[in-house]
Amino acid sequence: MNIEQIYTGCLAQGAYYIHSNGEAVIIDPLREVQPYLDRLEKDGVVLKYIFETHFHADFVSGHLDLSKKTGAPIVFGPTASPSFECLIAEDGQVFALGDVKIKVLHTPGHTMESTCYLLLDADGTPHSLFSGDTLFLGDVGRPDLSQKAATITQEELAGMLYDSLMNKIMPLPNEAMVYPAHGAGSACGKNMMKETMDSLGHQKEMNYALNQPSKEAFIEAVLDGLLPPPAYFPMNVAMNKTGYESVDVVMGNGMRKLEVDAFEVAAESMGAVILDTRAPGEFAKGFVPRSINIGIDGQFAPWVGSVIGDVKTPILLITAPGREEETAMRLTRVGFDHLLGHLSGGFETWAASGREVDTVNRISPQTFEAEWNKETYVLDVRKETEYAAEHVDEAYNKPLDCINSWFMEMDDSKPFYLHCAGGYRSMIAASILKSRGVHNFKEVDGGFAAIAKTQLPKTDFMCQSKSQKLS
């Protein structure tokens, strides 16, 4: 028996490849299926099942393409009702895999169909738990994503999650390994560890959610501090449940080269978002007007989902040379399938054409320090928790993931300064603001990490009024 975790840092997502005696299963596959096909061929094994722990909200699964290309059936847990052919397993059902077995544990709470898969050794001993979004390392799945037309509350879902954990998972032996669907950085939880696998016994000892004194305390603790889910989450759920275009077709569209003239026509006639995925520093020096910058080397896909929101938005790409395919693939992972193509030659071809170019006024933290006074408008686009820990005195907190709500408050007649933790998120914010006609600002290179090294006054006291409005 062999277990391999295939972890994707951009999504903080873990897929799993298990094979035993010539047969394999894949749990929660990503959208791009060719790596799985290559691995099956290399190992000389047959894919027997594709197991899904639930209808994922934060990424589009590769289950449909993988099933079509291998003939392996897709398996969901009890109560799942997808629009395509699959196996709906029963709670406690056992699937044979070579010399081992996989047992279905229905664990509703994160979603109603949420299911864990327990790998049993040849002698029937629990070996590993593939816990999906039910149990994370250091946390549990958020119970606010599966509310149905107000017929069930997040409190009720949290109660179901508690029962699932106490009745199905806590009785398992401490030696069993836990393999979750996500790790630190995912929006599917709030307190996840950076590690991607752990023993169940260790989780029983240190996971705050598993150590609450009562069901009521568990519900309160799990719901406390949850940020609103990204706007694209329900759309990804729908795609995973009802189906989607083959990734091969989507990638073909994304890899379409557009010369400058064609790119400009597409941008003007199709209402497309121009997504520039170069590094923030390069973007600041020059970009196609109204472009949105989300750097490919950061938490790219989640931020695309958060700030663009609608997966049906047509997108034109501008990338660093040679990164067109990577960018298109990472967009497909979160369901942004309406790719119109990419600018041939990247931004340099646009600049060489003599067309208009925009820039971001990026300044050093030292310049910011020299220009700052108590009347200076400073916008901190970090999360509320980051802002609360420490921030520039008199700064206002406007989290990036809420920019579509607060940008209307901005008055372009008043100059202001903009920063995040390191410069990645603030450049996203800067590009969005400029695309919407707000230009009278300076963005601080290096973010708060660099600002903290200056003598600018800082505080760890959070003024609630300043987190709510700009005046």
Complete domains list, the chain, with CATH: 2-234 (3.60.15.10), 245-352 (3.40.250.10), 362-467 (3.40.250.10)
**106 Cβ contact list (under 8 Å, min separation 6):** 77, 78, 79, 91, 114, 115, 164, 168
Mean pLDDT, to the nearest integer, of 393-415?
A: 91
* Alpha carbon separation from 409 to 128, 222, 360, 372, 457 (Å, rounded): 51, 33, 20, 22, 26
Cα–Cα distance, 232 to 70 (Å, whole number): 29
- Contact of 457 with 372, CB cutoff 8 Å: no
User: What single-letter amino acid sits at 29?
Assistant: P
**Half-sphere exposure for 86 (CA within 13 Å, toward CB):** 26
**22 Cβ contact list (under 8 Å, min separation 6):** 44, 45, 46, 98
Which residue shows structure tokens 């802002």?
Answer: 387
Residue 312, H or E segment: none
Cα–Cα distance, 240 to 234 (Å, whole number): 10
Relative orientation angle of helices 324-332 and 300-307, to the nearest 10 degrees: 60
Cα–Cα distance, 121 to 185 (Å, whole number): 32
User: What single-letter amino acid sits at 350?
Assistant: W
Q: What is the pLDDT of residues 349-392, one digit of tens each?
A: 999 999 999 999 999 999 999 999 888 999 999 999 899 999 99
Q: How far apart are the first and last CA of the chain?
A: 62
Q: What is the pLDDT of residues 405-419, one digit of tens each?
A: 898 888 889 999 999
Mean pLDDT, to the nearest integer, of 230-237?
A: 89
Cα–Cα distance, 390 to 264 (Å, whole number): 43
At 180, give phi and psi (nearest 5°). Answer: -85, 170
Instruction: State the pLDDT confidence band at 188, using cuts at 50, 70 and 90.
Output: confident
Cα–Cα distance, 282 to 242 (Å, whole number): 40
- pLDDT of 149 reads 46
With 0-12 CB in 10 A as exposed, 13-18 as middle and 19+ as buried, what is 419?
A: buried
β-strand partners of 101: 96, 120
Please state, for a pLDDT cut of 90, what percent of the chain lies above it: 84
Q: What is the pLDDT of residues 107-121, one digit of tens each?
A: 999 999 999 999 999
At 59, give phi and psi (nearest 5°). Answer: -155, 160
- Contact of 118 with 103, CB cutoff 8 Å: yes
Per-residue tokens: 108: 């509703």
- Contact of 338 with 414, CB cutoff 8 Å: no
β-strand partners of 102: 95, 119
**232 Cβ contact list (under 8 Å, min separation 6):** 305, 306, 308, 309, 310, 311, 334, 335
Cα–Cα distance, 431 to 425 (Å, whole number): 10
Q: What is the pLDDT of residues 257-299, one digit of tens each?
A: 999 999 999 999 988 999 999 999 999 999 999 999 999 998 8
Q: Is the pLDDT of residue 455 over 90?
A: yes
- Contact of 213 with 163, CB cutoff 8 Å: no
β-strand partners of 276: 293, 318
Which residue shows structure tokens 């600041």?
Answer: 284
Cα–Cα distance, 372 to 337 (Å, whole number): 44
Give the lowest-confidence range in 141-155, 199-213, 333-347. Answer: 141-155
Three-class SS state of 209 = helix
β-strand partners of 379: 396, 418
Phi-psi domain of 195 (left: phi exceeds 0; alpha: psi -120 through 50; beta: other): beta
User: What single-letter amino acid sits at 390?
Assistant: E
How many CB atoms are closer than 10 A to CB 133? 30
Q: Decide: pTM greater than 0.75.
A: yes
Q: What is the pLDDT of residues 127-178, one digit of tens each?
A: 999 999 999 999 999 998 875 545 789 999 999 999 999 999 999 999 999 9
At 24, give phi and psi (nearest 5°). Answer: -135, 155
Cα–Cα distance, 165 to 159 (Å, whole number): 10
